[in-house]
Amino acid sequence: MHLDEIVVVFMIVLLAGFVQGLTSFGFALISMPLLVKLMPLQQAVPVVVALSLLTNIAVMYSSRKHIRIRQIWPLLVASLLAAPLGTYALIYVPANALKLGAGMLVAVVSILMLSGRSLPLGRLAYAPVGALSGFLNGSISMSGPPAALFLTNQGLDKMTFRANITAYSLILNIITIGTYVYEGLLNQAAMETAGWAVPALIIGVIIGIKAVGRLNDRLFKTIALWLILVTGLWTAVNGIIG
């Protein structure tokens, strides 16, 4: 990569790392639409997943006492089954179609929740939400929005929400990276790009973790939903204009 490209990637990852440290799910939402302007989708996605794994490790360490694994294991099972399908979609399905579909779905649900409506998502929703999340993680590295919307709807407090979604994303990223290695997507170019971005990632995540203590639960939920909405619309627009 050229020096100017490295600087841009550094700034993108710094911002995305801050959002991840603050909300525990925003890294791919911020970084993916920007990185695909610099590199092909099939290179950007493995880079984002690899960096997301590191952010999840850092955030989970800071919130490990609040993890409630019983609340997320059904999501995990469905996600792990669907993740390989997402990897194949990344290889064979047009990128614009993936971004448009995911962006519109996320934006619509976000608008509903910002309007104050509580979605009737009971136990039966674990399987489809988890499957969608796993598929999106494998295809465009955006597992966060479906899982975040679902967990937000469960009325979890700020710290439990952060811990659960981080543990969920960490395990899912490990499986997804395994499928990328198998398919040859996590190549030398992707690893070099991720390596350049690690310092920015660390700085951003640390600042975000420090900032989260200043937010009450209601403000935290509002910020999370607006973040999901904006990035959902952004992803959809990118899918339309290519």
**SS3 labels along 72-83:** CHHHHHHHHHHH
Mean per-residue pLDDT for 167-196?
85
Mean per-residue pLDDT for 95-121?
73
Pair 165, 147: CB distance under 8 Å: yes
Please provide the average confidence, as pLDDT, over all residues in the chain: 81
- The per-residue pLDDT for 10 is 93
Mean per-residue pLDDT for 108-113?
74
- The per-residue pLDDT for 104 is 84
Residue 121 has pLDDT above 70, yes or no: no
Mean per-residue pLDDT for 80-87?
86
Cβ-based neighbours of 148, under 8 Å, separated by 6 or more: 23, 25, 165, 224, 228
CA pair distance 25, 171, nearest whole angstrom: 14
- The per-residue pLDDT for 13 is 94
Give the residue among 159, 169, 171 at the shortest CA–CA distance from 63.
159
Instruction: Specify the higher pLDDT residue, 137 or 47.
Output: 47
Residue 119 has pLDDT above 60, yes or no: no
Residue 201 has pLDDT above 90, yes or no: yes
CA pair distance 226, 230, nearest whole angstrom: 6
Where does the pLDDT of residue 12 fall: very low under 50, low under 70, confident under 90, or very high at 90 and above? very high
- The per-residue pLDDT for 168 is 83
Residue 167 burial by CB count (10 A; 0-12/13-18/19+): exposed, middle or buried? buried
CA pair distance 206, 22, nearest whole angstrom: 9
Residue count (the chain): 242
Where does the pLDDT of residue 11 fall: very low under 50, low under 70, confident under 90, or very high at 90 and above? very high
Pair 133, 143: CB distance under 8 Å: yes
| Of the ranges 54-58, 199-203, 209-213, the best mean pLDDT one | 199-203
Where does the pLDDT of residue 95 fall: very low under 50, low under 70, confident under 90, or very high at 90 and above? confident
What are the boundaries of each domain within the chain? 3-241
3-state helix, strand, coil in the chain (%, to 5): 85, 0, 15
End-to-end C-alpha distance for the chain, whole angstroms? 23
> Which residue is associated with the tokens 């979604």?
165
Q: Where are the alpha helices (DSSP H) in the chain?
A: 3-23, 27-35, 41-63, 73-92, 95-114, 126-140, 144-153, 158-183, 188-212, 217-241
Give the residue among 36, 45, 23, 34 at the shortest CA–CA distance from 159.
23
pTM comes to 0.72
Where does the pLDDT of residue 30 fall: very low under 50, low under 70, confident under 90, or very high at 90 and above? confident
